[in-house]
Copies of this chain bind each other. A is one copy, B any other.
Amino acid sequence: MSKLQEKVAALPAERCCPALTERELTAEEAELTAAMFKALGDPVRLRLFSKVASHPDSEACVCDIADVGVSQPTVSHHLKKLKEAGLLTSERRGTWVYYRVEPSVLAAMGHLLTPTPASAQVA
């Protein structure tokens, strides 16, 4: 687990990441959550992440997700960034490395973008 992931996993979704429409983020919360958004802020990284996330059990062998039109070292670099941001975990099994979406982190990010009832009325 990355340090960021440990921080996120240690907090309930509400404390880690209040809905952005609920109250302004503190500097520390913004630091923590911006790192997760940044990790998804690259088209290739986002495709890799969606490939893992949409695989059965939200887990995929690196051999199944590498066809995103970039070289293998670039794929490895992007997967490393996703791990550092706490969005993926990995495990080696025999020849291959398997990547898995961290469900608690996905839930925390989803919570961030959930409109609160007051803001939903305005919308």
Which residues of the partner chain B approach A5 to less than 8 Å between Cβ atoms? none
A9: min CB distance to chain B, Å: 13
A49 to B, closest residue via Cβ = B20
Number of copies: 2
Binding site secondary structure of chain A? helix
B53 and A30 contact, CB distance less than 8 A: no
Closest to A31 in B: B43
Q: Which B residues lie within 8 Å of A114 (CB)?
A: 110
**A interface list, Cβ under 8 A from B:** 20-25, 27, 30-31, 33-35, 37-47, 49-51, 53-54, 56-58, 69, 101, 103-104, 106-107, 109-110, 113-115, 118-120, 122-123
Q: What are 14 A-B contacts with C-beta separation under 8 Å? A: A21-B53, A21-B54, A22-B54, A25-B46, A25-B50, A27-B69, A30-B47, A35-B41, A38-B38, A57-B122, A103-B120, A106-B115, A107-B115, A109-B113
